[in-house]
Amino acid sequence: MSKEFEAVIFDLDGVICFTDEYHYQAWKAMADGIGVYFDREINNRLRGVSRMASLEIILERCDEKLSDERKEELAAQKNELYKKLLVQMSPADLSDEVRNGLNELRARGYKLAIGSSSKNTPFILKQIGLDGFFDAVSDGNNITKSKPDPEVFLKAAEMLGIAPEKCLVVEDAIAGADAAHAGGMKAACLGDAAKAGAGDYNMTTFGDLLNIL
Helix (H) / strand (E) element for 111: namely strand 111-115
63 annotated active-site: no
Exactly one of 11, 149, 172, 178 is catalytic; which is it? 11
Greatest CA separation found in the chain?
Answer: 55
13 annotated active-site: yes
Residues 6+ apart with CB under 8 A from 58: 27, 30, 31, 36, 38, 42, 46
**Given CA atoms 155, 26, 17, 177 in this order, what sign does their dihedral have?**
negative
Helix (H) / strand (E) element for 99: namely helix 96-107
Exactly one of 13, 139, 149, 178 is catalytic; which is it? 13
- The candidate with the shortest Cα–Cα distance to 22, out of 12, 35, 10, 8, is 12
Query: Which residues does the annotation mark as catalytic?
Result: 11, 13
